[in-house]
Amino acid sequence: MPPLPYVDLRVLRSELERRVDGEVRFDPGSRGAYSTDASNYRQVPLGVVVPRSVEAAVEAVAVCRELGAPVLSRGGGTSLAGQACNVAVVLDWSKHCNRMLSVDVSARTCVVEPGIVLDELNRRLAPYGLQFGPKPATHANCTLGGMIGNDACGATAQGYGRTADNVRRLEVLTYAGERFWAGVDGAPEASEQLRAALRELGRRHAERIRARFPDIPRRVSGYSLDALLPRAGDGTGGDRVDSADEVDWARLLVGSEGTLVTVLSAELALVPLPAATALTVLAYPGLVEAARAVPPINEHHPIALEGFDAELIELQREKQLAPDVLGALPPGGAYLLAQFTGDSRESAVTRAEALAAQLPGTPSVVLSEPALQGQLWQIRESGLGATAHVPGRPDTHPGWEDSAVAPERLADYLRDLKALLDASGYAQHSLYGHFGHGCVHARIPFDLRSEPGVRAFRRFLEQAADLVTGYGGSLSGEHGDGQARGELLGRMFGPELVRAFEELKAVFDPLDRMNPGKVVAPNRLDADLRLLAPLSPPSSDARFGYPHDGGTVVGAAARCVGVGKCRSHVGGVMCPSYRVTGEEQHSTRGRARLLFELMRDDGTVREDGWRSRDVLEALDLCLSCKGCKTDCPVNVDMATYKAEFLAHHYAGRLRPRAHYAMGWLPLWLRGATRAPRLVNAVGSAPFSSRVVKLVAGIAQQRSLPLVVDERFTAWYAGRGPRGDGRRGEVLLWPDTFTDALSPGVGRAAVEVLEDAGFRVVLPQQALCCGLTWVTTGQLDVAKRVLRRTVDALRPHLDAGRPVVGLEPSCTAVLRADARGLLPGDPDVERLRQATVTLGELFAQRAPGWRPASPIDRPAVVQRHCHQYAVMGYDADAELLRRAGARVEVLDAGCCGLAGDFGFTAGHYEVSQAVAEHALLPRLRALEADAAVLADGFSCRAQVEQSDVAARPLHAAELLAAALRGVPPVPPGRPSWRAGAAVDAVAIGGLLTAGYAVARRLSR
């Protein structure tokens, strides 16, 4: 292929900005965020273009053509073989070009733009009773353009076929600028030169294609040259292709990984939504035994037949995920999941039970409940992430992750593959996959950080390629070749067909500008490895301990494996800022990529080190919601990484005003409650409140919280402990928010705890968990605050008292962040184990307690993100159900306020957009008698400062109202009339002194 020309990046950027209706980005942060996909490879792009329309993308390619720049058309960036990263101009379709253009219900087809996400497409098709059949594990975030590029399959390809089987036509653009529709019946709009070249190519290579292309369900490796052959039953009786209409252009171009054309739109074939599904779960001693059972099970025609070993189940048990379905599974060393559809639940179950009945010696269970089926599919789809970072084991990587053979030969292939893995030193591997189609996914502990490890990696891939070829299989069964397998294609197809691939590439892209170095004339499989580079932080004084990442921030920054679940649009919490902006840099993955670049000695953002503005900009819209800590398959904890970065970024220099105002909130509130009327008057009056918010870096659209006349701790000190304490003593944690802003929550909790038989005590001195200092990256202060707290609580820990948290974010600090900030401290570990939520305490020590009067009303719950991520909400939901509430826990994601985030100037619009994603629309449709519960102060503040009529309560307030047999009443607003002049003097002095202390301690 011709060598790539020199490209003047300044001219390229200027022309793209001038001519393209889109976002043109050549900054280090954008280039770093797109430098890799979900593979082992890293190639920094020339720049990134986010076109606002298909026509804008066409113009971008024209600019690249005129200046000789390579082009990479990118989908969701989840490719595992390196085909979604390149030294090229990256076209990211996902932000703007994501429409479903039309749907034809009678023909069961639709036309889409390439950036639409599969789950979003199927949500839009659901009202028509239709769906796109193939469903990869990344269905929540993969785009149709990416699926077309890789010929994606997923589990349901067993019943519905690969992407290539479900594409009717493609609108494509060649690098030379030729634009046309190509379909199953040819491409009449294409030039005669192009059509004639394909006819000739098919004629000359027909015999070799028939001889070397494996006849198996999953052959994704190489180009689909078999599409050039006459279709079966066409009556030609030979190898002649006399008409371009006899070439299946759609099948030819699907799976070409962006190396031949750019896909502009696609007409897709659709299938009916099944009325019901059922799962037969079959247990076996091991994977090889499970694989031997595949052929007879296939005769029952399930739409999916998946296999995995019991290790995947045990990993979920350790994470305490999906407990319902895990308890329903039969014991075994490996499992097969056979999914059946039916016109009704009964018919689907009948088919599933028929399979189980024919295998009487095999332990099995049939699952018909959608919730249990969904949990089990989540376990299966989490395989890549769940096995990537297992504590106590070496990290695993892709590279040989989707080889495929005929299902009849799967058991023998698995046996030999496992033997090869063991002999190569990779005994701690994980295997699973689409067993009904003979496709095997593997996560292997390759050492990709050392030269000897990389040599072993190459040696294994060459041997594995020979092994699967010997079984008549394919190097790739759904993920494509990219850079991982392009170099190995000769072993599978032979040199003649590799030359045919080169000829096909030359027909469409003679200058080799479309995703160069992939499939044809590929880069070496052991080049451009992401981890084979000197990695070190700009400075080594990490503030957190990172026990699950080798104790280093480098390990934490390398944790992301790029599957892109953070780019999903619904479900869970992660990632709220991406759902609003659609920006790669504002996804958890994008931020992780930039932090990784910061650790590379040659990284795109390395030059400025911890002072990098690009990394700061990417992290600025991180809400620190901790959703990724749970939702991410590899548990990336971006809230912690953000705090670490901010600590270094602002070390020794002035911080944003909001860091002093909200980071030091416990100090300000301690002073403010000494003169609450004046503080509330100043904070509520139009002019003075504007000044206060301007000085404090708070968004002008926000209302300042009102401080109370009597702190919760002051109320309790005057009251003292009561009750018989028959269930023992508990320490109620008086967090800053409950103490100074929502004391009614604390009073309600005391009432409930005492009614249940607990004796409540509070700390004798003012303490804090340090949350606000953690979230603003003032970690040295946070450590000192936490150290003081742990020392003060030691007698309570010695006495064995549970520590009950009411504010989820503060509870999460004691349960998680404290251990990271003060690693190895036995008292911190004791505090972590002693800290519980209200629901957890009752589940452990008072499981039968109920209030005197049942709640007997709907309770719509907005979970706090930190509770979702760290403690979980199941125990608290169960407490409410026992009390008689009809609980609906919203799957609405983050509320958008997220501690200080929504209050900070510049964040208001994003904060409100996050709330409008699902939370506020649900509350606007609230039932008349429903209670709204939000245990987090920030969640309650977000709802209170919105246009919804409902006023939120803490769960303790709802339970306390039930004790009294009265309807719950939201707490009244504190007084804000100005008091005596002495209040003004006192508050002024306190604020001045506090500011001086904050400045001094932050240096």
Three-state SS for 106? Answer: coil
Per-chain mean pLDDT for the chain: 92
Kindly tell me if the per-residue pLDDT of 1002 is higher than 70.
no
**CA pair distance 640, 646, nearest whole angstrom:** 10
Asked if residues 682 and 753 have their Cβ atoms less than 8 Å apart, the reply is no
**CA pair distance 301, 445, nearest whole angstrom:** 35
Residue 17 CB neighbours (<10 A): 15
- Cα–Cα distances (Å) from 215 to 209, 471, 886, in that order, read 11, 11, 55
Three-state SS for 824? Answer: coil
Q: What is residue 235's predicted lDDT score, i.e. its pLDDT?
A: 37
Q: What is residue 969's predicted lDDT score, i.e. its pLDDT?
A: 73
**Please, which residues have CB within 8 angstroms of residue 719's CB and are 6 or more apart in sequence?**
none
Instruction: Render pLDDT for 749-766 as a digit per residue (tens, 0 to 9).
Output: 999 999 999 999 999 999
Q: What is residue 2's predicted lDDT score, i.e. its pLDDT?
A: 59
**Please, which residues have CB within 8 angstroms of residue 69's CB and are 6 or more apart in sequence?**
7, 12, 46, 63, 88, 89, 513
Kindly tell me if the per-residue pLDDT of 963 is higher than 70.
yes
pTM attached to this predicted model: 0.92
Mean pLDDT confidence for 207-220: 95
**CA pair distance 877, 273, nearest whole angstrom:** 33
Nearest C-alpha neighbor of 95 from the set 76, 80, 111, 82 = 76
Q: What is residue 986's predicted lDDT score, i.e. its pLDDT?
A: 40
Mean pLDDT confidence for 127-133: 98
**CA pair distance 9, 111, nearest whole angstrom:** 35
pLDDT band at 1; cut points 50, 70, 90: low
**CA pair distance 182, 253, nearest whole angstrom:** 9
Instruction: Render pLDDT for 262-306 as a digit per residue (tens, 0 to 9).
Output: 999 999 999 999 999 999 999 999 999 999 999 999 999 999 999
Three-state SS for 290? Answer: helix
Q: What is residue 311's predicted lDDT score, i.e. its pLDDT?
A: 82
Instruction: Render pLDDT for 443-500 as a digit per residue (tens, 0 to 9).
Output: 999 999 999 999 999 999 999 999 999 999 999 999 999 999 999 999 999 999 999 9
**CA pair distance 126, 602, nearest whole angstrom:** 47
pLDDT band at 384; cut points 50, 70, 90: confident
